[in-house]
Amino acid sequence: MTCELRKHLTEEGGFNLMLGFIIRPPHQLLSLLLCPGLRIPRLSVLCAQPRLRAMAVSSSSWELPLVAVCQVTSTPDKEQNFLTCAELIREAARLGACLAFLPEAFDFIARNPEETLHLSEPLGGNLLGEYTQLARDCGLWLSLGGFHERGQDWEQTQKIYNCHVILNNKGSVVATYRKTHLCDVEIPGQGPMHESNSTIPGPSLESPISTPAGKVLLRARAIESQCYVVAAAQCGRHHEKRASYGHSMVVDPWGTVVARCSEGPGLCLARIDLNYLRRLRQHLPVFQHRRPELYGHLGHPLS
């Protein structure tokens, strides 16, 4: 669970990612963003639902990296959640995506903090092992939005981390980020959600990681940060106490929604054109107006 815009932004190349988790009413948005020079022409967007409904992709855009945003309804049933995610990931690979994004809590959404702790696993556990094998089998990079991780201090704390994991197409863990700002929120009609009851804040920010679609980061907004925003969301009813809003999307650096899922499980895809972002930054040079003396350099924490 989260209501933060995660991590830091970079003014170097790459792409910011926005990993989205929206609760009804939409209180939470967890994000991953895409940076340097990304453009998704509207005709090059491909949208799909499970068992697939797709729009045509323009032939001129086939050489651009294709990213997939997966929208799911996680429940306390970890095995069924994996089967659902795996189906979408395989479909993304079949459609030619190089990188697929799963939302926060892709592994499960529990009914209470006790169940959350009971269902959690270490990074070296069975569930992440299944995802590493899936990444290898599909030849696809995976952004696993928020994994309920039992850290090395589990025996002492009996609490977990909300860990974002990036796997490469060989199934190796190439980056992890443990959420630093936890979300405690009261939602009318759904009761309180206090992430801090079961979760420890992460200790540090991590450097951007290079992927086939650019550099991943975990905090930004499209226009101010001049990047694509890829927001993977949960949707539907997870259990009797909780539901999510859905509408996963990809937003271009000018703020236009270029791909969007509906309320049900499914995926949407969009191509990434880094030249578009470079042109946009030339015409609207917002980075020239940054104030590092006030808040430090983007991508680096204040000393």
pLDDT at 284: 75
What pLDDT sits at residue 241? Answer: 83
What's the CATH architecture for 64-288?
4-Layer Sandwich (3.60)
Query: pTM of the full predicted structure?
Result: 0.72
Write down the pLDDT at residue 87: 97
pLDDT recorded at residue 129: 98
Q: How far is CA 131 from CA 21, 87, 100, 110, 204, in A?
A: 20, 12, 12, 20, 25
Distance of CA 252 to CAs 41, 60, 151, 277, Å? 9, 18, 36, 9
Q: What is the pLDDT of residue 143?
A: 96
Q: Name the residue ranges covered by the structural domains of the chain.
A: 64-288
pLDDT confidence of residue 88: 97
Q: Are strands 228-231 and 214-217 parallel, antiparallel or unpaired?
A: unpaired
Phi, psi for 85 (deg, rounded to 5)? -65, -40
Give me the tens of pLDDT residue by residue for the chain, a chain 303 residues long.
333 323 332 333 444 444 433 323 322 222 333 333 333 232 233 433 333 333 333 334 557 899 999 999 999 999 999 999 999 999 999 999 999 999 999 999 999 999 999 999 999 999 999 999 999 999 999 999 999 999 999 999 999 999 999 999 999 999 999 998 888 887 777 777 889 999 999 998 788 889 998 877 744 556 667 788 898 999 999 998 888 888 899 988 888 888 999 878 999 999 988 888 888 888 777 777 666 776 566 555 555
Residue 20's pLDDT is what? 35
